[in-house]
Structure formats: C-alpha cells, structure tokens
Amino acid sequence: MSQVVLVTGCRSGFGLLSAVELARRGHVVYAGLRDPGCAEELAAAGRGLPIHPLALDVNQASQRDAAIGRILDEQGRIDALVNNAGVALGGFLEQVEEDEFRQVLETNVLGPWALTKAVLPAMRQRRSGKVIMVGSMSGRIGLPGVGVYAASKWALEGMSESWRHELALFGIELTLVEPAQFKTDIFTRNRRIARNAQDPDSPWAPYVRSLDKSVRAMVERSAGDPVEVAHLVTRLVEAKKSAFRHPVGPNAWMRAMLGRYVPFGLTQRFIARWLVPDPA
C-alpha cells in the first residue's frame, strides 16, 4: 500500500537516496531541502519519479508548519516521517566554541523533536503512523574528535527511546536507524570542522593530523554504500511492525556489542593506541 512519507535532509546522502528508493517503490514522497535551490539535483537523482521537494530547514518553525500543512492539504495524511536531516562537526571538544555546539544540538536533536511533535496530531487522529530517526553508531560509542556529534546522537538515542514508549500509546511506531561509516558527503562536500580545529599552535594539532589521516584511510578502506541505509528506511516504512534499534553498515553490530559488553578500560586502551600523535 502506498504511504505518504516526509523525508528531511534530501540534498544528498541517506536523505536523497531514501527519497528516491521510496518513490521507486510507489510511495508519495515529500523531500525536505534546507536549500530549495538543490531541487534540481534531487530531480536528477529521481529520474522522473514523483518526488515533491519542500523548503524545509528543520530549525525553522515557520518552515516546519508550512511543510506539514502542505502535505496534509494535498494528501490528507502523513503516514511516515523520516528524520534524516543532521550535521556533523569535527574537532576535539576543547576546540569547539559554544555557538558551534549549539548549532549541532539544534539541528540533530531539537529539529527532529520539533518535527515529530508537528506530525503527531494528524497521526494520533488516525491512530497510526511511523517515525524513523536516523541516528548514528556515534550514539552508542563516543570517539575522540567527534564529541559534539556524539553528544547530539546520544541525546537523539535517549529521546527516541522515550518517544518509542510514549507514541506506542497512540498506535504510532518510532524506530531508530544507527548507521556506521558510509561514503556520503559528510566526509567531503558537507564536511564541517570546528573553527579552531586547524590551529597549528594548538596542543591538539598532532592529534588532529593523526585523526584526519585515520578517518580518511577508514573511509577509503571500509565505508559502506549509503544505498543500504535507504533500503533499510524503505523496509521500515513498509513493515507492519519493527524492532526499535537498527544498526546498519560495516561493523555496526560489532560496534554495538563492543559498547555493550567490552569493558570500557579495554576500549580506551585500544583507542589510545589508535590515536598516536602525528608529527608535524
């Protein structure tokens, strides 16, 4: 049965691919774009599929309300919300400024909270609906150099767990997708680092160089194909009932088990060996 689905963050990566895959499967897809000027890229990726672009910055209440209002006016319902929009930020925590931290939290935590809240009245009225949160394995294990991103994804995990219990009371199912490393624009065009992260005089400079080298090597060696996440999102939209957490991607289940069963001291020693300072 065709579903009416709103997907956020559709300029590239998981959002764009999920919108295309859902439309290919016959669903009515509304694709949120922070920059409406990117609609042509979305149309090109969709190759004629009926994907409806929306101006939607998840941090803007007026745009959230307008997007939900338009979908309800045109379709009469919203069957599924995919909260995919998010930002990353590289940099050791001491290097990050407060405004940078706040922006990540607003986009990765408050944005999904507000948009979920906005779709609930329509879903609750029909006593059905799905909310899919796109989190990260960084919401399970906090690694050095991405502490702000990890903080936002840990917060999303906790909020999603509470939402799961609360929304079930009204017949609404919330699921959490936890991607590992994938070859998306988060490592290229959308790569964001803290303003102070490139300071050559910082005591963190050798660790920044070491981490950057390690991450680049990891992406080239083992990052997965992001279409895998799009397929998972589509299965969750179409499923009658789903489990709560869904790790996905290279070593995702291993990392999930690592965080749950391996003593933290052992993990810390392993990461310390991995983060050997890189000479200038």
In tens, the pLDDT along 229-258 reads 999 999 999 999 999 999 998 777 777 777
Contact (CB, 8 A) for 237 and 5: yes
DSSP string, 26-41: T-EEEEEESSGGGHHH
Instruction: Give the number of other CB atoms < 10 A from CB of residue 174.
Output: 24
DSSP string, 106-131: IIIIIHHHHHHHHHHHHHHHHT-EEE
pTM of the model: 0.92
Instruction: Give the number of other CB atoms < 10 A from CB of residue 73.
Output: 8
The whole-number pLDDT of residue 165 equals: 98
> Which CA distances in Å does 4 have to 69, 180, 193, 217?
13, 28, 36, 40
Q: Please, what is the Cα angle at 213 between 211 and 217, to 5 degrees?
A: 115
For residue 179, give the nearest of 120, 224, 132 by alpha carbon.
Answer: 224
CA distance 158 to 28: 30
Q: For the chain, how far is it from start to end, CA to CA, in angstroms? A: 58
The amino acid present at 168, given as its one-letter code, is: A
> Which CA distances in Å does 278 have to 94, 118, 187, 205?
19, 47, 20, 9
Q: Is 30 a known active-site residue?
A: no
- In three-state secondary structure terms, 152 is helix
The side-by-side arrangement of strands in the sheet containing 129-134 is 51-55, 28-33, 4-7, 80-83, 129-134, 172-179, 245-248
Catalogue all structural domains in the chain, each as residue range(s) with its CATH number.
4-274 (3.40.50.720)
For residue 181, give the nearest of 140, 232, 145, 136 by alpha carbon.
Answer: 136
The whole-number pLDDT of residue 190 equals: 62
In tens, the pLDDT along 50-96 reads 899 999 999 999 999 999 999 999 999 999 999 999 999 999 999 99
Write the burial class of residue 2 (CB in 10 Å: 0-12 exposed, 13-18 middle, 19+ buried). exposed
Q: Of these residues, 30, 149, 207, 261, which one is catalytic?
A: 149
The tens place of each residue's pLDDT in the chain, 280 residues long, gives 899 999 999 999 999 999 999 999 999 999 999 998 888 888 888 888 989 999 999 999 999 999 999 999 999 999 999 999 999 999 999 999 999 999 999 999 999 999 999 999 999 999 999 999 999 989 888 889 999 999 999 999 999 999 999 999 999 999 999 998 887 766 555 678 999 998 998 999 988 888 888 777 766 666 678 999 999 999 999 999 999 999 998 777 777 777 777 788 888 887 887 777 766 6
